[in-house]
Chains A and B, each alone.
Chain A
Amino acid sequence: MPFKRLFGEFSKGLIRENPVLGLMLGLCSVLAVSTEAVNAVGMGAAMTFVLLGSNILVSLLGRSIPAKIRLPVFIVVIASFTTIADLLMNAYAPAIHKSLGIFIPLIVVNCIIIARAEAFASKNTLGASIVDALGMGTGYTLVLFVLASIREVLGNGTFWGMKVTPEMDPILVMMLPPGAFITLGLMMAGLRSVRK
């Protein structure tokens, strides 16, 4: 496959078809875990791992999956990779695992992953599916990281756990769900005006 096409499959996840800002999928976990930049990176890594695993397996199985039971098969594949990610994080990154809590197992029901399996990996080659997963995972992580950084700096006066605004009183609402919705809305608006 030409390099240009592969790069296109990767870069579409960053802006044009960004899973969060463009397709608006998986917003639940985005809103919930974006209170700290370090959580955002942990969640993004777990998400990319599951995306990569499920895209690889689904594209390898490809047409051998009977159409009638493809969704149950996708869900078993996704649930398995999510549980593997959950166990690995619990073993090797217990602090992040603890602060993400329920949102790691909830990756199972994240529609970004099943959407990529259904709409992309099941119809495309292994290489393209890997690149697609990496692009979507990076796009998700990037948005989560920017959103979490804004919320952490404004709402808590810290970045990556370090104090950055010593004399400012933090804007508490940024830490609460309304802060997440407002910031995400502004980010979507910003991206749309840039794209036009």
Chain B
Amino acid sequence: MKEIVRLGLYLLTVCALAGAALSGTYSFTSRKIQAQKEKAERQALTAVLPGAVRFESNNGYIRVFDGHQAPLGCILKVSAAGYSGRIEALVGVDTVFKVTRVQILSQVETPGLGAKITSPAFLAQFDHQASDRIRLRKDGGEIDAVTAATISSRAITNAVREKVDAFQKTVR
């Protein structure tokens, strides 16, 4: 009985010290982590609609204006079921519903294969496309799939097209 108390107290001390060290590190890094996250979000937003200055959330999408308050278009959030998990992306559309740029926010596709959907070469194919052209080439569209990663490529391509189509319908 005496021993169990001694062991318990030893573990309690170790865990208390560990907890103190962790909360110290957390409070030291949390602001920096938050700032990094906000910076990345902000960068993604301006990247999909170049020239964007002011953002205005509007049920499910973000309306974007330039420095002179002229509407530039909207930013939509896309979520697709990829090969091994969700692919989250931002899509910018201009005022005539052409895609300005697609930016992947997070994905867990196979490194070296499906993960290449984040590469600028793949994503640049979406620039200035109307939604009816946004299909893989083997599905009759204009987008070349990433080599050996058709599932990932098709998932994001179809999700972008469907989202832009749906958006076009709700706005009109």
Residues in A lying within 8 Å of B, measured CB to CB = 35-36, 65-66, 68-69, 72-73, 76-77, 79-80, 83-84, 87-88, 90-92, 94, 99, 101, 155-156, 172, 175-176
15 A–B contact pairs at CB < 8 A? Answer: A66-B6, A66-B7, A69-B10, A77-B18, A80-B22, A84-B21, A87-B26, A88-B25, A90-B36, A91-B33, A94-B36, A155-B112, A172-B148, A175-B111, A176-B112
- Sample of 13 further A-B pairs with CB below 8 A, known A77-B14, A87-B25, A176-B113: A35-B111, A66-B6, A66-B7, A69-B7, A72-B11, A80-B18, A84-B21, A87-B26, A90-B29, A90-B36, A91-B32, A94-B40, A175-B112
Residues of B within 8 A of A94 (CB): 33, 36, 40
The contact string, 1 if C-beta is below 8 Å from chain A, for chain B 32-58, is 110010001000000000000000000
Residues of A within 8 A of B10 (CB): 65-66, 69, 73
Residues of B within 8 A of A87 (CB): 25-26, 29, 33
CB-CB nearest 9 A-B residue pairs: A175-B112, A91-B32, A91-B29, A80-B18, A35-B111, A87-B29, A94-B36, A84-B25, A91-B33
Cβ-neighbour of A175 out of B7, B14, B32, B113 (below 8 A)? B113
Residues of B within 8 A of A36 (CB): 111-112
Distance in angstroms from A191 CB to nearest chain B CB is 25
Distance in angstroms from A132 CB to nearest chain B CB is 22
A91 & B7 in contact (Cβ 8 Å cutoff): no
Distance in angstroms from B108 CB to nearest chain A CB is 7
Residues of A within 8 A of B148 (CB): 172
Query: Whole-angstrom distance between the alpha carbons of A69 and B6 in the complex?
Result: 11
B168 at the interface (CB under 8 A from A): no
Q: Which residue of A lies closest to B106 (CB)?
A: A98
A76 & B21 in contact (Cβ 8 Å cutoff): no
Sort chain B's interface into a size bin.
20 to 34
Query: Whole-angstrom distance between the alpha carbons of A78 and B26 in the complex?
Result: 17
Query: Whole-angstrom distance between the alpha carbons of A172 and B112 in the complex?
Result: 8
A92 & B32 in contact (Cβ 8 Å cutoff): yes
Question: Which of A65, A77, A80, A88 has the most chain B CB atoms closer than 10 A to its own CB?
Answer: A80
Residues of A within 8 A of B25 (CB): 83-84, 87-88
Residues of B within 8 A of A65 (CB): 10
Query: Whole-angstrom distance between the alpha carbons of A140 and B46 in the complex?
Result: 40
Residues of B within 8 A of A101 (CB): 108
B108 & A80 in contact (Cβ 8 Å cutoff): no
Cβ-neighbour of B21 out of A80, A91, A176 (below 8 A)? A80
